[in-house]
Chains A and B, each alone.
Chain A
Amino acid sequence: MTATTTSTPAPLFPTFEQVFQGLSGQIGQLRELAPKPKLPDKERVRRAIDVLIEETNADEAVWLESCIHCGQCTNACHYFQATGEAKYAPMRKMELYRRIYQREIGPFRAWYKLTTPKIKLSHLEELQELAYDSCSECGRCTMVCPMGIDTASLVHHLRSALVEAELVPPELATLHQEQKYRRTVFGASGEKFIELVQRIRDHYDMEVPLDKPQADVLVLSSAVDLVGNGNGLLATAKVMNHLGIDWTLCSDAFESANFGLLSGDMALWEKLSAPIVDAAIRLGAKTLVIAECGHAYPALRWNPMVKGGELPFEMMYISEFLGRQAQHGKLKLRPLQGRVTYHDPCKTGRRGGAFEEPRAVLRAMQADVVEMPANKEFNWCCGGGAGIFLLDDATRLRDESFRIKMQQVEQTGAEAVVVSCASCRLNFEAGRVKNRWNKRVESLVELVAQQLDEEMAA
Chain B
Amino acid sequence: MSLLEFARGPAIHWSLIILTVGILWRLLGVLALTRGADLSRPRDAFGNFKGYRTVFSRSWPAGEFTTATMFQTSVAYVFHLSTLIVVFGVTPHIEFITGLTGWAWPGLPNAVGVGFGVMALGSLLAMILRRLSKPAVYCSNTGDFITWVLVALPLLTGLLAFGHLGARYETLLALHILSVCALFIWFPFSKLMHAFWFVFSRAQSGIVYAHKGVRI
A residues with a Cβ closer than 8 A to B are: 55-63, 65-72, 74-76, 80, 84-86, 89, 91-92, 105-108, 139, 142-150, 153, 301-309, 311, 350-353, 374, 377-378
The 6 closest A-B pairs by CB, nearest first: A107-B29, A308-B41, A353-B213, A148-B202, A86-B136, A148-B205
| CA A350 to CA B204, docked complex, whole Å | 16
CB atoms of B33 and A58 under 8 A apart: yes
Residues of A within 8 A of B204 (CB): 59, 62-63, 148, 150
CB <8 Å contact, A150 and B139: no
13 new A-B contacts at CB < 8 Å, known A75-B65, A75-B68, A107-B25:
A57-B35, A66-B197, A66-B201, A69-B139, A72-B61, A74-B136, A106-B29, A142-B216, A143-B216, A148-B206, A351-B209, A353-B214, A377-B214
Instruction: Provide the main secondary structure of the chain B interface.
Output: helix
Q: Is the CB of B36 within 8 A of A304?
A: yes
Separation of A92 and B136 alpha carbons in the complex (Å): 10
Taking a contact as CB atoms closer than 8 A, the residue among A61, A146, A301 that contacts B58 in the complex is A146
Q: How far is the CA of A153 from the CA of B211 in the complex (A)?
A: 14
Instruction: State which of A70, A153, A351 has its C-beta within 8 Å of the C-beta of B212.
Output: A351
Q: Are B36 and A57 in contact (CB under 8 A)?
A: yes
Q: How far is the CA of A307 from the CA of B37 in the complex (A)?
A: 10
State how many angstroms separate the Cβ of A51 from the closest Cβ of chain B: 14
- Whether B144 is near chain A, meaning CB under 8 Å from some CB there, is yes
Contact B191–A68 (Cβ < 8 Å): yes
- Output the nearest chain A residue to B67 by Cβ-Cβ distance: A75
Residues of A within 8 A of B33 (CB): 56-58, 61, 105
Tell me which residues across on chain A come within 8 A of B76, comparing CB atoms: 70, 146
User: Can you list 30 A-B pairs with a CB-CB distance of less than 8 A?
Assistant: A57-B34, A59-B208, A62-B31, A65-B30, A66-B197, A68-B194, A70-B76, A75-B69, A86-B135, A91-B139, A107-B28, A108-B25, A139-B209, A143-B64, A147-B194, A147-B197, A147-B202, A148-B202, A148-B203, A148-B204, A148-B205, A148-B206, A149-B201, A153-B208, A301-B40, A302-B38, A302-B212, A308-B39, A374-B64, A377-B216
Q: What's the minimum C-beta distance from A211 to chain B, rounded to whole angstroms?
A: 26
How far in angstroms is the closest Cβ of chain A from B8?
29
Residues of B within 8 A of A306 (CB): 39-40
Nearest residue (CB) in A for B62 is: A143
CB of B198 within 8 A of CB of A147, answer: yes
B-chain residues with CB within 8 Å of residue A75 when the two chains form the complex: 65, 68-69
A250 to B207 alpha-carbon distance, docked (Å): 35
Q: A59-B35, A69-B191, A378-B62 are in contact. Are A352 and B212 (CB under 8 A)?
A: yes
Q: Bound complex: CA of A80 vs CA of B139, how far in Å?
A: 12
Please, how many angstroms separate the alpha-carbon atoms of A250 and B30 in the complex?
46
Interface majority SS (helix, strand, loop, mixed), chain A: loop
**Cβ-based interface call for B43 (8 A):** yes
Q: How far is the CB of A347 from chain B (nearest CB, A)?
A: 10
| Contact of A150 with B136 in the complex, beta carbons under 8 Å | no
Q: Is the CB of B198 within 8 A of A59?
A: no
Residues of A within 8 A of B30 (CB): 58, 61-62, 65, 106-107
* Nearest chain A CB to B207 CB, angstrom units: 9
A375 to B, closest residue via Cβ: B64
Which residues of B sit under 8 angstroms from A80, Cβ to Cβ?
136
Inter-chain CA distance A236–B146, complex, in Å, is 59
Give the nearest-CB partner of B135 in chain A. A86
Q: A142-B216, A308-B41 are in contact. Are A71 and B138 (CB under 8 A)?
A: yes
Q: Are B216 and A148 in contact (CB under 8 A)?
A: yes
Question: Whole-angstrom distance from the CB of B45 to the nearest CB of chain A?
Answer: 9
Cβ of A303 to closest chain B Cβ, rounded Å: 6
Proximity string of chain B (127-144) to chain A, C-beta cutoff 8 Å, 1 when within and 0 when not: 000010011111111001
**Docked CA distance A69–B204 (Å):** 19
Interface residue ranges of B68-83 to A (CB < 8 Å): 68-69, 72-73, 76
* Closest A residue, CB atoms, query B211: A302
Docked CA distance A352–B134 (Å): 34
Chain A: which residue is nearest B32 at the CB level? A58
> Could you tell me if B137 and A74 are in contact, using CB atoms closer than 8 angstroms?
yes
Return A44 CB to nearest CB of chain B, in Å. 25
Q: Which chain A residues border B198 with CB–CB below 8 Å?
A: 66, 146-148
- Chain A CB within 8 A of B193 CB: yes
Is B164 located at the chain interface by the 8 A CB criterion?
Answer: no
Q: Give the complex CA separation of A55 and B213 in angstroms.
A: 24
A149 to B216, CA, bound (A): 11
Check A85 against B34 for contact (C-beta < 8 Å).
no
Task: List chain A residues, Cβ under 8 A from B34.
Answer: 57-58
Residues of A within 8 A of B69 (CB): 72, 75, 144
Interface presence of B200 (CB below 8 A): yes
Q: How far is the CB of B152 from chain A (nearest CB, A)?
A: 16
